[in-house]
Amino acid sequence: MMAGQRPTTSAAPADTGRHAYLQNKVTRRRAIGPGLRTFLIFAVLVGLGALIFPSSYFYRVGTLVWINTLAVTGIVVLLGYVGLVSLGHAGFFAIGAYATAILPNYGVPSPLAMLSGVLLAGLLALVVGRPILKLSGYYLAIATLGLGMLIWMVLSKEAWLTGGPDGMTVSGMNARNLFKMVGLNLKSAEAWYWVAGFTAAIGAAIAVNLAGSPSGRSLRAIHDSDVAARSLGIDVARAKSRAFVISALYAAVAGGLLALANGYITPETGGFMHSVEMVTMAVLGGATSVFGALVGALILTALPQVLTVFADYEHMLLGGIMVVTMIAMRRGLVPFIADLWTRRKS
Amino acid sequence: MSELLQFLVSGITVGAIYAAIALGFTLIYNASGVVNFAQGEFVVIGGMTAAALIGAGVPVWIAAPLAVIAGMLVGVLLYRLAIRPAREAPLVSLIIITIGASIFLRGAMQAVFDKQIHRYDGFSGDAPLRVGGATILPQSLWIIGGSIAVFAFLAWFLNRTRAGRGIRATASNRMAAALVGINTGRAMNLSFALSAAIGALAGVLATPVTFTSYDVGVLMALKGFSATMLGGVGSPLGALAGGLLIGLIEAMTAGYISSDYKDASAFVVILLVLFLRPQGLFGARITERV
C-alpha cells in the first residue's frame, strides 16, 4: 500500500470513529494558535520584567536571560524535539557574535553583519551536520565538541582579526536609536532589554509552530525511534540536519545580539563551558518546551548573580545539575512541575 | 632527518598516552555501550593526585599506585552513582549524564586541588637520552612501555581470565550472560574500575612530559575519541593504532605546519573519519540493533 492511500473498506467504521474524534479536537481548538499564544506569554513576561526592574543592572541581567533563552530555544529544537546533543553550540553562538563585531570594522552595517554571521553559522552546520547525522547520536556530540573547540581555537589564535584571548570591542548600532525613531527615549540597557526580549519571543513562537508542523512531527517521530521514523518514509538524516541547522541559527542570532548589547566579546563566548551551559539550561528547564528554555536560562543566568559562591563551584553545580536532572526528573523542571500540577488537580 | 626523527619520538610519546585513553574508553564502550565523556577526567585525576602526593613528599613509587587507585575509586563511583541509576535511560540521557559527570569532576578537582598547572620529575630523571640524531626523555620510555603493558594486560585479562570473559559476555548480551550465571553487575563495576585505572595510569605517566591541570580532561577525552574513531570504535587494536597515529599527526602538525594548531589536528581527523570512513581503520561495519 502506498503511503497516504486510504485503508480498505473493512477498516472504515473505525476510521470514521477516529475522524469524529479528530473533528472534536479541531472544534475545541483555541481561538489563537499556539505560536501566537507563546509569543504573547513571552511578551507579557518581558513587560513584567520591565515593570519591576529598579536599575540598569537588572535590565542588563534581564537582557542576558532573554539572549540565553533564545540560544537555548535552539537547543530545545535539537535536543528536545529530535533528541540530539550538541557540545559545540557555543561555536555557532560565537560565529554570530564575532561576525557582528568584525564586519562593521570593514564598513558593513551591523544588521547586515549579524545576518552574515547567522548565515555562515547555518551553512557550517549544514556542511558539517549532513554526513555526521547519518550516524548514531553519539557522533554528533563528539563531532560538535571538536568543531566547537576548533572555532574557539581560531578565535583565540587569530588575534589580528579577533583581538585574541582578550576579546574585542563591538562598534556599531545602539538599540536606543531604534526607539528614538519612534519617539521613545530609553536608556541603552533598557533598549537592549526590549530588543532581546522581543527576539526571544519571536524565536519561541517559531519553535512552537515548528513543533506542530509536519516537519516538527517528523522530528518527534525520530526522537522516539530512528528506525520507526524511517519506515514511515521520513528522510531521517535530512530532518535531523534541518533541526541542527535551525538550532545553529538560533545560537548565532543570540550571539549577534550579545555582541551588540554587551559591546564587548571574548573567545569564551565560543568556549566549551558555554556550550555545556546551554545544554544544562535546556536539560534543567526541560528540553521539550520553549518554556523549559526560559526557566533554565532564567535560573542559570540569575543564580550566579545572586550566589557569589557560584563562580567557585560553577563546574560542580552545572555538572551536578545535569546528572541529577537526568536521573531524578529526566524531562526537566517545567514538565515535572506541570505533571505534579495535573496530578494534584485530578 | 634528525628533525623528523625528533617529531616521530614526540609523536609516539603523546600517541601512547592517547592510546591508553582510547583503550579505557573502548573497555567501557564494549561492556556497557556507554560512550564515556568523562574518560579524560580519569587522566587528570591520576596526574593531579600524583602531583599533590609527590608535592607533599610522598615517594613516587607510593604516590603513583595511590593515584591509580584514586582514579579507580572515582570510576566505580561514576558507575554506581550516575550510570547505573539511569541504566534504562535513552542514549541522549546517558550522553548528558557522562558529560555532566565530567564537568562535575573537573569542578571537584578544582576545589580539591587548585587551578595551577602541575608536573613532577620523571620517574628516571629528566636527562634526555640521545638516539640517532634525536633526543628522548626517559619518561617517554615509561609512557610507551606503560601503554604496551596496558594493551597486553587487557588482551590477557579479557581473553584468559574468568572475570575478563565475564565482561566480554556481558558486553555481547547482558541478559544471556546473566542467564548463564555471570554476575553482570560485577562485570560492569569491574570494567568501569579498570577503565578508570587505565586513564589514571596514563595521567600518572604523562604528567612529567605533558603537565596537567584541572581543565585538560576534555581535551584528553577528545584526543582519546579521535584515536578510538580513527582506529574503529570497539576495537582494542584499533585504539592502540589510532592513538599512535593521532599522536604522530599531531607532532607532524606542530613541527611542520603550526604549533598553534596542533590540537586542531585531532578534530580534523575526527571530522574526516566521520565523513569518509565512519567505521574507522579496524572497525567492523556499523550495524544498529533495533
What ipTM describes this predicted complex? 0.90
* Sign of the dihedral defined by the CA atoms of residues A272, A277, A278, A282, in that order: positive
- pLDDT tens digits for A5-61? 444 444 334 444 444 444 444 445 556 888 999 999 999 999 999 999 999 999 999
Residue B84 exposed, middle or buried by CB count within 10 Å (0-12, 13-18, 19+): middle
Q: Is it the case that residue A205 has pLDDT exceeding 80?
A: yes
Q: How many CA atoms lie within 13 A of B278 on its CB side?
A: 17
Q: Cα-flanking dihedrals φ and ψ of residue A163, to 5°?
A: 80, 0
Greater pLDDT, A222 or A1: A222
| Amino acid identity, position B202 | A
Task: Identify the CA nearest to B22 among candidates B270, B192, B238, B189.
Answer: B238
Least confident of A133-137, A243-247, B24-28, B263-267: A133-137
Flag if A321 and B100 touch (Cβ within 8 Å).
yes
The predicted structure's pLDDT at residue B287: 53
The predicted structure's pLDDT at residue A20: 42
The predicted structure's pLDDT at residue B1: 64
Q: How many CA atoms lie within 13 A of B227 on its CB side?
A: 35
**Grid coordinates standing for A22?**
479528530
Contact A259, A101 (CB under 8 A): yes
Instruction: Identify the bridge partners of residue B136 per DSSP, sorted by sequence position.
Output: B129
Which residue has 599533590 as its cell numbers?
A: B52
Residue A311 exposed, middle or buried by CB count within 10 Å (0-12, 13-18, 19+): exposed
- Written as one string, the DSSP assignment of A176-209 is HHHHHHTT----HHHHHHHHHHHHHHHHHHHHHH
Percent of chain A with pLDDT over 90: 60
Strands (E), chain B: 129-131, 134-136
**Grid coordinates standing for B115?**
587551578
Greater pLDDT, B289 or B57: B57
Flag if B89 and A330 touch (Cβ within 8 Å).
yes
Report d(CA B7, CA B96) in Å as an integer. Answer: 37
Q: What is the mean pLDDT of chain B?
A: 90
Q: Where are the domains positioned within chain A? A: 33-271
CB-based contacts of B274, cutoff 8 Å, min separation 6: A131, A132, A135, A139, A143, B229
Flag if B103 and A128 touch (Cβ within 8 Å).
no
Angle between helices A236-262 and A214-224 (to 10 degrees): 110
Q: Mutating which of B25, B44, B92, B286 best tests the A interface, going by the most A Cβ atoms within 10 A? A: B92
For B175, the 3-state DSSP assignment is helix
Give start and end residues of each alpha helix (H) in B78-172. Answer: 91-112, 138-160, 162-172
The predicted structure's pLDDT at residue A31: 67
Report d(CA B214, CA B209) in Å as an integer. Answer: 16
Contact A50, A56 (CB under 8 A): no
**Grid coordinates standing for B279?**
567505521
Summary count for chain B: helices (H), strands (E) = 11, 2
The residue of chain A with its CA nearest to that of B101 is: A319
Summary count for chain A: helices (H), strands (E) = 16, 2
Contact A296, A284 (CB under 8 A): yes
Helix (H) or strand (E) holding B208: helix B184-210
- Contact with chain B for residue A246, Cβ under 8 A: no
Report strand pairing: A168-169 vs A264-265: antiparallel
Angle between helices B184-210 and B162-172 (to 10 degrees): 100
Which residue has 517559531 as its cell numbers?
A: A206
- pLDDT tens digits for A308-326? 777 788 899 999 999 999 9
Flag if B101 and A137 touch (Cβ within 8 Å).
no
**B267: which chain A residues are within 8 Å (Cβ-Cβ)?**
146-147, 149-150
- Contact with chain B for residue A327, Cβ under 8 A: yes
- pLDDT tens digits for B58-106? 999 999 999 999 999 999 999 999 999 987 788 888 889 999 999 999 9
**Grid coordinates standing for B204?**
600518572
The minimum CA-CA distance between B118 and chain A, rounded to whole Å, is: 20
Report d(CA A206, CA B288) in Å as an integer. Answer: 34
Instruction: Identify the bridge partners of residue B141 per DSSP, sorted by sequence position.
Output: none
- pTM value is 0.89
Q: Which CATH architecture is the domain B2-276 placed in? A: Orthogonal Bundle (1.10)
Report d(CA A107, CA A216) in Å as an integer. Answer: 39
Which residue has 549544514 as its cell numbers?
A: A126
The minimum CA-CA distance between B80 and chain A, rounded to whole Å, is: 12
- Written as one string, the DSSP assignment of A130-143 is HHHTTS-HHHHHHH
- Cα Rg, chain A, nearest whole Å: 21
Give start and end residues of each alpha helix (H) in chain A. Answer: 12-27, 34-52, 56-75, 89-102, 110-132, 137-157, 159-162, 175-181, 188-212, 214-224, 226-231, 236-262, 272-285, 290-306, 314-328, 333-345
Least confident of A29-33, A192-196, A276-280, B16-20: A29-33
Instruction: Tell me which residue in A84, A149, A276 faces B99 most closely, judged by beta carbons.
Output: A276
Residue B123 exposed, middle or buried by CB count within 10 Å (0-12, 13-18, 19+): middle
| Amino acid identity, position B195 | S
Q: Taking the CB of residue A124, how many other CB atoms lie within 10 A of it? A: 18
For A265, the 3-state DSSP assignment is strand
Report d(CA A213, CA A66) in Å as an integer. Answer: 25
Task: Identify the CA nearest to A289 among candidates A326, A331, A239, A236.
Answer: A331
Instruction: Tell me which residue in B91, B92, B274 faces A143 most closely, judged by beta carbons.
Output: B274
C-alpha distances (whole Å) from A80 to each of A226, A249, A292, A335, B29 are 15, 16, 10, 12, 25
The predicted structure's pLDDT at residue A212: 87
Report d(CA B166, CA B169) in Å as an integer. Answer: 5
The predicted structure's pLDDT at residue B19: 95
Segment 115-144 of chain A within 8 Å of chain B by CB: 128, 131-132, 135-139, 141-143
- For the segment A63-74, the average pLDDT, to the nearest whole number, is 97
- For the segment B142-165, the average pLDDT, to the nearest whole number, is 92
